[in-house]
Structure 1
Amino acid sequence: MTVLDVPGVANFRDVGGIAVGNSRVRDGVLFRSGQLAGLTDAGSEFLHGSVHHIVDLRDDMEVSSEPSAIRDIPTTRLPLFVGSVASFFTENAGLTEMYRHLVEQAGPKLVDAMRIIGSSPSTLVHCTVGKDRTGVTVALALSAVGADRDAVIDDYALTASLLPEERNRQVLAYMRSRNLDTPNAIELATASPAPVMRALLAAIDTEFGSAIGYLRAQGLSDAELEALGETLIG
């Protein structure tokens, strides 16, 4: 994986290079990031030269408050949560609960994301900070093509170190002002612990046999799985 400096976008990286058996994930076919509202002209130029399709996983409130600065790259919105992200903070849920909610409730949308990744020359998947919804989506895509599990988890865990410090300070200050600064809420806002993703993938294995089994159960066809592999592996 390669962290990229795309002006105006936080947590932008290319997951290419992750091992898949004796092969690897192709460079330049699957990118992940935070939201694109602050994208500069230089950042826009990079995206236009590198990305063919954008998958935006944010809910309506997030999109309204921070609309994407990109209008002319095909974009598919796949809001993964029923309701809003804010509800997880007010309910004091943790990352484990959030991720289980995603795989249990958002299966068809996760499958739609796999279809786009498999059918586009290059895809950018993003949410607001590129941590949770993006992390689960990318981990499933990589796992479905047989990517090395430790590398998949390392990619997920990398996010916490890439979140802008000023953004974290502002988020924590806001949470304190609303009496939401519980350990779970702080984890939701700022953390990407490797054990959480490892446990999620293990739970999927236990229930469905594998990430492939999960995606098949949600409606992804064998032909679409094959397309995903052909796009990502090289």
Structure 2
Amino acid sequence: MTAADPTVSGAVNLRDVGGLPAAGGFTRGGVLYRSGSLAQLDATGVAQLERLGLQRIIDLRADDEVAHAPTPGPLASAVQRVPLFLGSVASFFEQDVSLDEMYRMLVDGSAERVVDVVRGIAGSQPVLVHCTVGKDRTGVTVAIALAAAGVDEEAVVADYARTESLLPEWRNRRVVERLASMHPGARHLEDLATRSPAPVMRSLLADVRNRYGSAASYLRDHGLEADELVALRASLIR
């Protein structure tokens, strides 16, 4: 049984990544949270998030995204910035890449930053990882962290896929209409903006496994130390 999601007014796609089956047990509740942007939190939402006792908020957004939608001031002192895309978010819509292609680019082009995120997760908890929607950058980094910690792969896939059910239809419609006006004819626009299909994450994890042996080996090959991997597993799994 997964952990209960916290109630935070104004939060996007916020959830507790606890209760997932793993080698030797389950992921701990109240340790790792994931979400979309925190910019829309009102005073009540800020107070509700503060009650989670977060020690670190890892923000994966680019500078322009942060400038457009800054983290509320009371939370700013806990923020660790790790911008994850090498290019702008808009460039993926302009290039009309698929989700599979974007995730491969992220894993290959931002590996050291993925390690920075995982290092941040292992370094102090409770921790919240977020981007703008909490779907792609957050989805990939959290999935790799969970897989490296020994979480059952299908549970990792299901956690990623769950995002699609948490994005309101009105939000999806508005975003797709705006992006379609900017990028007419783009084939992958709706997938990039609104979808988190299980086969995409399953394919990504299989690709990482085929090329590196495991998600843990991927992290080790890009700089994560053995003791940090031990700390990650100890913090996330009970």
- TM-score class, shorter-chain normalisation, is over 0.9
After superposition, residues 11-50 of structure 1 pair within 5 angstroms as 11-50=13-52
2:222 aligned with 1:222, yes or no? Answer: no
The alignment of Structure 1 onto Structure 2 pairs a total of residues equal to: 234
The structure 2 residue matched to 1:136, chosen from 133, 140, 146, is: 140
Shift of 1:181: 5.4
Q: CA RMSD in A?
A: 1.2
Amino acid of the structure 2 residue aligned with 1:110? V
Shift of 1:233: 1.0
Q: How high is the TM-score relative to the length of structure 1?
A: 0.96
Partner of 1:105: 109
Amino acid of the structure 2 residue aligned with 1:136? V
For 1:26-50, what per-residue CA distance to the aligned partner results, in whole angstroms no more than 9, with x for missing partners? Answer: 0000000010111122221122121
Shift of 1:70: 4.3
The structure 1 residue matched to 2:131, chosen from 127, 132, 136, is: 127
Shift of 1:24: 0.7
Partner of 1:186: 190
For 1:73-129, what per-residue CA distance to the aligned partner results, in whole angstroms no more than 9, with x for missing partners? Answer: 411111111121100000000101110011101111111111111111211000000
Q: How high is the TM-score relative to the length of structure 2?
A: 0.95
For 1:126-172, what per-residue CA distance to the aligned partner results, in whole angstroms no more than 9, with x for missing partners? Answer: 00000000000110110011101111100000001101222211111
The structure 2 residue matched to 1:213, chosen from 197, 214, 217, is: 217
Amino acid of the structure 2 residue aligned with 1:64? A
Q: Distance in 1 between matches of 2:194 and 2:185?
A: 11
Amino acid of the structure 2 residue aligned with 1:37? A
Q: Distance in 1 between matches of 2:25 and 2:90?
A: 40
Amino acid of the structure 1 residue aligned with 2:232? L
Shift of 1:22: 3.4
- The sequence identity of aligned pairs, in percent, is 49
Q: Distance in 2 between matches of 1:106 and 1:168?
A: 27
Is contact 2:11–2:35 with CA below 8 Å preserved after alignment? yes
Say which is worse superposed, 175-184 or 7-16, in terms of deviation. 175-184
Is contact 2:176–2:189 with CA below 8 Å preserved after alignment? no
The structure 1 residue matched to 2:55, chosen from 35, 52, 55, is: 52
Partner of 1:76: 80
Amino acid of the structure 2 residue aligned with 1:5? T
After superposition, residues 57-68 of structure 1 pair within 5 angstroms as 57-68=60-71
Q: Distance in 2 between matches of 1:137 and 1:48?
A: 23
Is contact 2:58–2:80 with CA below 8 Å preserved after alignment? yes
The unaligned stretches of length 5 or more in structure 1 are none
Say which is worse superposed, 174-183 or 123-132, in terms of deviation. 174-183
2:94 aligned with 1:90, yes or no? Answer: yes
